[in-house]
Structure 1
Amino acid sequence: MLLRSKLALITACVVAVAIAGISVVTWLVTEHNLRTQLDKSMLASLPPPVLRPPEPGMRREFKLRCDEGVPGQGLQLVLQGIQLFKSDGSTCAPPGVDPVVTIAGDDQVTTTTFRDGLTASGASVRVLLVPLDNGDVLILSRSLVEIDDTLAALAGVLVSVAVFGAVLVAALGLWLTRRALAPMERLTETAEHIARTEDLSTPVTVSGQDEVGRLGRAFTSMTAALAESRRRQRDLVNDAAHELRTPLTSLRTNIDLLVRSERTGRELPQRGEVLDRLQAQSQEFSDLVTELVVLARDDRELAREPVEVADVIDRAVKRARSRAHDHVFDVDRSPWRTLGDAAALERSVLNLLDNAVKFGPPGSTITVRSRPGWLTVTDEGPGLPAEHREAAFERFWRAPGARGLPGSGLGLAIVADIVAVHGGAVRFLPTGQGASVRLKLPTIVGG
């Protein structure tokens, strides 16, 4: 069953139950009011001798009429359905009256009492029992046919209203839910289309400020994020394939030279040089694979914990010193903290130091400065022209004068990605000599 059908059915059931409850209450209240009015009219029809202390003559006159068989036409006209239930068990009623069938206990009443009963002909009546001073019981009856007919007609109307109301509400509910869920249906069709075609650029036409609108906007954001992730993955694969083609060709050429030398038995004059190139190229490939793994890693894998930036700088400088003995590192940092992944931040600082070592001449000084919220790495190399400073943070980009140097062109791209994930920014600072790169990172309380 479709969601709109379920909602329409649930709404119809709720309304039907509500109408049924109201109908039952209406019927019961009407029945009570009709019976109350009938009871009041029966009490009002009693003659004064019955309602107040009677005079002896009145009471005897009624008794004599009943005993002597005197027709009670006057009483019959005034009190229809009158009947006298004597203490000896006999009954007396005017001519033409359909007597009420007495039941056990009628002769024992001590106060004015109402009950439902039947006449000798089987008609349903309302019975009023009034005890008299001499032990007899005056019985008045009124037919319940009109009340029963009224209640039956009311019940038919209420049932019809309940059924018609439930059907009407079900139809209106189905129509309204169809209109209300139309955006949801379009969203479902869009999701099915995307799942079938894998086209993440398919627009999602859902608007509004309700839950469906929020869901549409969330779905649009999700598809946009997936499309961006797919684009970045595709670009990374394409760039990696493009950048790996040349080194792979060189590596294969050197290996072919060694294999051919071994098979032919001819001594390769440049054997040592070829082996050195193979070793350097294998190291470059190892570094490239490591950098690609870092770029491909999901940002959610990074830790989110307080990091002492001074400790990160110290570890990165220590690693850089171990592979750049001919450079001087001038470090001045203040203690401060940021929130993030210590290993990733160390990798970004180490990449900046490696770049400074690569472009700085032997014996030059690499300056590291850090204060709360930023750190800067400066070298004494040739520097980078202003027009190339933005492109330097793109993947696999390399300066025209650095194409012959080792490296993959991913170092600064990794720095930019890591810093962006941590809510910071990276840029080149204008300097008279060399290159100066500054990282800005948010500080945390106590940093």
Structure 2
Amino acid sequence: MTGPVLLRGKLALITACVVAVAIAGISVVTWLATEHNLSSQLNKSLMASLPPRFDRPPGPGDRREFHITCDQGQGRPEDGLQQVLQGIQTLELDGSTCAPPGVDPVVTTADDFVSTTTYRDGVTKSGTEARVLLQPLDDGRVLILSRSLGEINDTLAALAGVLVAVSILGVLLVAGLGLWLTRRALAPMERLTETAEHIARTEDLTTPVTVDGQDEVGRLGRAFTSMTAALAESRRRQRDLVNDAAHELRTPLTSLRTNIDLLVLSERTGRELPQRAEVLDRLQAQSREFSDLVTELVVLARDDRELARDPVDVAEVIDRAVTRARTRAHDHVFDVDRSDWTVLGDAAALERSVLNLLDNAVKFGPAGSTITVRSRPGWLTVTDEGPGVPAEHREAAFERFWRAPAARGMPGSGLGLAIVADIVAVHGGSARFVPNGRGASVRLNLPCET
């Protein structure tokens, strides 16, 4: 069972086929041109053999006559034509022919009736193919001159053999050369294929792809390198997210299991648990934290391509986020001042990012404090009256699971600002802390749709 034909073999085969067709066409044209030239030369040779009075129209009183005396095969042609022709004869009025001795007369032509000088192919009495010139005479007879086509046929046969041999050798040479050239041209592609197979076998996305050049293969190599780098970065981020989530979940899970074990032990032993109400409250709070954490992890793990790309009214996004935040913080005042502008993106994701900023402001702002929201085309800010974030921690605050030392005892997962940064970055913007006299102020820069 034969294996699959490689690309280089296909290209070499296609090249050989194209060249074979081209050589065959050239050979046919060459053979036909040679055959035409040889026939034309033979025709000219026959015409030149005619007496001078036959190569022009007859003048006044000029008669074109020709006589061969046929006397028991002893006739002789006039003007010495016997010495330059292989065949000369006349077609008599009664249909018989007259030829001098030693001449192999033509016995078959396509048609013996002619009114002008005519060239035809014929066959002699001995079966030899001949080129025939038919020249009508004034007395109604026809002068027939002939020459054998043997030399021409031999020449054309030899030429055909040479052309066939050259065609076969040319095709073989082109096929071999094409295979060698395609092998060299596709060597980078073969290296790229081997690298891809190695990556698929080992799942090592850091394997370098050594394909250079500015041609299509070079572009493919660079695109493949970019793809594997993006996949490696995506895997790294996924691994970091899982590791960070596992680390952050370990402590609350331990606390949750401890509280559940206390309740189970109390039920089994029948002993009243003095802190039962307090344990239940902790379990309820921890379950809410786990629910929020799972939601935030789902948001972080979501593919950016799942986000919509629609015109979004930022003012409506802010209004919806503030409405939701008010239901969670009745003891805070929201001071909102925004203008109408739009951004191209996902309305739900943008609302999520604004709501996270408002939740942080509610969490860190004292009861009765004011949360200020300002928005103009291209930006929006959320400011609270809490303790603020030290300058040295402002960049780290947007990392996953990062929490300020003073806030580690407060509820939360440390993912709120990381989600904000990711959502804004997907929309082509940025998130950062801006100086504020009191509390923390976060500014979101977003490209305004014109």
1:66 deviation in Å? 4.2
Q: Please say if 1:401 is aligned against 2:406.
A: yes
Q: Distance in 1 between matches of 2:316 and 2:117?
A: 102
Q: Distance in 1 between matches of 2:378 and 2:289?
A: 33
Check the 8 A contact 1:326/1:363 in 2, yes or no. yes
Question: Once the two structures are superposed, what CA deviation does each residue of 1:273-327 show, in whole Å capped at 9, x if it has no partner?
Answer: 1110000000000000000000011101100000000000000001111001111
Check the 8 A contact 1:204/1:216 in 2, yes or no. yes
Question: Once the two structures are superposed, what CA deviation does each residue of 1:411-433 show, in whole Å capped at 9, x if it has no partner?
Answer: 00000000000000000001221
1:37 deviation in Å? 1.3
What residue number does 2:165 align with? 160
What residue number does 2:101 align with? 95
Q: Distance in 1 between matches of 2:54 and 2:325?
A: 121
Q: Please say if 1:436 is aligned against 2:441.
A: yes
Q: Tell me the amino acid that sits aligned with residue 389 of structure 2.
A: L
Q: Distance in 1 between matches of 2:118 and 2:93?
A: 17
Residues 55 and 44 of structure 1: CA distance in aligned 2, closer, same or farther (over 3 Å): farther
Q: Tell me the amino acid that sits aligned with residue 267 of structure 1.
A: E
Check the 8 A contact 2:424/2:444 in 1, yes or no. yes
With normalisation by structure 2, the TM-score equals 0.95
Q: What's the secondary structure of 2:34's corresponding residue? A: helix
Check the 8 A contact 2:110/2:120 in 1, yes or no. no
Q: Please say if 1:86 is aligned against 2:92.
A: yes
Q: Please say if 1:425 is aligned against 2:447.
A: no
Q: Distance in 2 between matches of 1:19 and 1:444?
A: 63
Structure 2 portions without partners, runs of 5+: none
Q: Tell me the amino acid that sits aligned with residue 77 of structure 1.
A: Q
Check the 8 A contact 1:49/1:55 in 2, yes or no. no
Q: What's the secondary structure of 1:269's corresponding residue? A: coil
Residues 65 and 49 of structure 1: CA distance in aligned 2, closer, same or farther (over 3 Å): farther
What residue number does 1:292 align with? 297
Structure 1 portions without partners, runs of 5+: none
Q: Please say if 1:40 is aligned against 2:47.
A: no
Q: Please say if 1:343 is aligned against 2:348.
A: yes
How many residue pairs were aligned?
443
Q: What's the secondary structure of 2:374's corresponding residue? A: strand
Q: Please say if 1:9 is aligned against 2:13.
A: yes
Q: Tell me the amino acid that sits aligned with residue 105 of structure 1.
A: D
What residue number does 1:124 align with? 129
User: Equivalences for 1:219-258 in 2 at 5 Å?
Assistant: 219-258=224-263
Q: Tell me the amino acid that sits aligned with residue 216 of structure 1.
A: G
1:19 deviation in Å? 0.4
1:65 deviation in Å? 3.3
1:70 deviation in Å? 4.1
Question: Once the two structures are superposed, what CA deviation does each residue of 1:198-248 show, in whole Å capped at 9, x if it has no partner?
Answer: 000001111111111111111111111111111111111111110000000
Q: Distance in 2 between matches of 1:211 and 1:104?
A: 63
Q: Distance in 2 between matches of 1:87 and 1:104?
A: 18
Q: What's the secondary structure of 1:407's corresponding residue? A: coil
The one of 72, 75, 99 aligned to 2:81? 75
Check the 8 A contact 1:194/1:200 in 2, yes or no. yes
Question: Once the two structures are superposed, what CA deviation does each residue of 1:139-195 show, in whole Å capped at 9, x if it has no partner?
Answer: 000111111111111111111111111011101100110011001100100000000
Q: What's the secondary structure of 1:63's corresponding residue? A: coil
Q: Distance in 2 between matches of 1:267 and 1:75?
A: 147
Q: Distance in 2 between matches of 1:192 and 1:418?
A: 35
The one of 406, 415, 438 aligned to 1:410? 415
Residues 368 and 176 of structure 1: CA distance in aligned 2, closer, same or farther (over 3 Å): same
Check the 8 A contact 2:421/2:430 in 1, yes or no. yes
The one of 202, 213, 217 aligned to 1:212? 217
Check the 8 A contact 1:19/1:162 in 2, yes or no. yes
Check the 8 A contact 1:46/1:79 in 2, yes or no. no
The one of 255, 261, 281 aligned to 1:276? 281
Q: Distance in 1 between matches of 2:419 and 2:160?
A: 80
Residues 104 and 297 of structure 1: CA distance in aligned 2, closer, same or farther (over 3 Å): closer
Check the 8 A contact 2:427/2:446 in 1, yes or no. yes
Q: Distance in 2 between matches of 1:404 and 1:23?
A: 93
Q: Distance in 1 between matches of 2:191 and 2:415?
A: 43
Residues 104 and 42 of structure 1: CA distance in aligned 2, closer, same or farther (over 3 Å): closer
Q: Please say if 1:18 is aligned against 2:22.
A: yes
Q: Distance in 2 between matches of 1:59 and 1:175?
A: 70
Q: Tell me the amino acid that sits aligned with residue 179 of structure 2.
A: L
Check the 8 A contact 1:356/1:366 in 2, yes or no. yes
Q: Tell me the amino acid that sits aligned with residue 16 of structure 1.
A: A
With normalisation by structure 1, the TM-score equals 0.96
Q: Distance in 2 between matches of 1:57 and 1:318?
A: 125
CA RMSD of aligned residues (A): 1.7
Check the 8 A contact 2:85/2:146 in 1, yes or no. no
Check the 8 A contact 1:424/1:442 in 2, yes or no. yes
Residues 162 and 99 of structure 1: CA distance in aligned 2, closer, same or farther (over 3 Å): same
Check the 8 A contact 1:115/1:127 in 2, yes or no. yes
Q: Tell me the amino acid that sits aligned with residue 320 of structure 2.
A: R
1:105 deviation in Å? 2.8
The one of 111, 116, 123 aligned to 1:105? 111
1:54 deviation in Å? 7.9
Q: What's the secondary structure of 1:406's corresponding residue? A: coil
Question: Once the two structures are superposed, what CA deviation does each residue of 1:365-405 show, in whole Å capped at 9, x if it has no partner?
Answer: 11000000000001111111111011100000000110000
Q: Distance in 2 between matches of 1:10 and 1:409?
A: 63
1:103 deviation in Å? 4.0
Residues 80 and 53 of structure 1: CA distance in aligned 2, closer, same or farther (over 3 Å): farther
Q: Distance in 2 between matches of 1:45 and 1:421?
A: 96
Check the 8 A contact 1:50/1:132 in 2, yes or no. no
Of 281-290 and 80-89, more deviation after overlay is shown by 80-89
Question: Once the two structures are superposed, what CA deviation does each residue of 1:112-131 show, in whole Å capped at 9, x if it has no partner?
Answer: 11111111111111011111
What residue number does 1:31 align with? 35
Residues 267 and 70 of structure 1: CA distance in aligned 2, closer, same or farther (over 3 Å): closer
